[in-house]
Amino acid sequence: MKAVLTVVGKDAVGILAKVSTECAKYNVNILDVSQSILQDMFCMIMIGDVDKLNVPFGEFSDAMAKMGDEINMSIHVMHEDLFNSMHRI
């Protein structure tokens, strides 16, 4: 089962490091990362394998959102099924 993490906010040093450290804490294996800077906005999409997650999915999602608030970034974690069902027939 894969989760999609989106991280959006003002660019700063160490965002990728902080987000991936937090993911590691919850045993999430990062499979893919794509990031871009639009003007000075940082926009990153990560695909993570959450099969071996060590807490319930909702708790992980809350923890990431809370961490996002601490570093002034907006972080959302969503199940990949949502995107697959909306954009694939």
Partner 1 sequence: MLETRDILETISMIQDENLDIRTVTMGISLLDCIDSNIDVACQNIYNKITNKAKNLVSVCQGIEKELGIPIINKRISVTPIAMIAAATHSKDVVKFALTLEKAARAVGVNFIGGYSALVQKGFAAGDKELIESIPEALSVTDHVCSSVNIGSTKTGINMDAVAMMGKVVRRAAELTADRQCIGAAKLVVFCNAPEDNPFMAGAFHGPGEPDCVINVGVSGPGVVRAALARPEAQSLDLSGVADLIKRTAFKITRMGQLVAMRASERLGVQFGIVDLSLAPTPAVGDSVAHILEEIGLESVGACGTTACLAMLNDAVKKGGVMATSHVGGLSGAFIPVTEDAGMIDAARSGALTIEKLEAMTAVCSVGLDMINIPGDTPSEVISALIADEAAIGMVNSKTTAVRVIPAIGLEVGEELDFGGLLGSGPVMPISGYSPLKFINRGGRIPAPLQSLKN
Binding site for partner 1 (CB under 8 A): 4, 6, 34, 43, 45, 47, 57-58, 61-62, 76-87
Map residue 44 onto helix, strand or coil: strand
Which C-beta is closer to partner 1: that of 13 or that of 58?
Answer: 58
Smallest gap from Cβ 72 to partner 1, in A, equals 16
Smallest gap from Cβ 2 to partner 1, in A, equals 8
Closest residue by Cα to residue 1 from 25, 31, 45, 43 = 31
Output the CA torsion 29→27→13→33 (10° steps): 20
Tokens encoding 42: 């940082």
In sequence order, which ranges of the chain are alpha helices (DSSP H)? 15-25, 57-70, 80-87
Which C-beta is closer to partner 1: that of 17 or that of 86?
Answer: 86
Smallest gap from Cβ 24 to partner 1, in A, equals 21
Which C-beta is closer to partner 1: that of 13 or that of 86?
Answer: 86
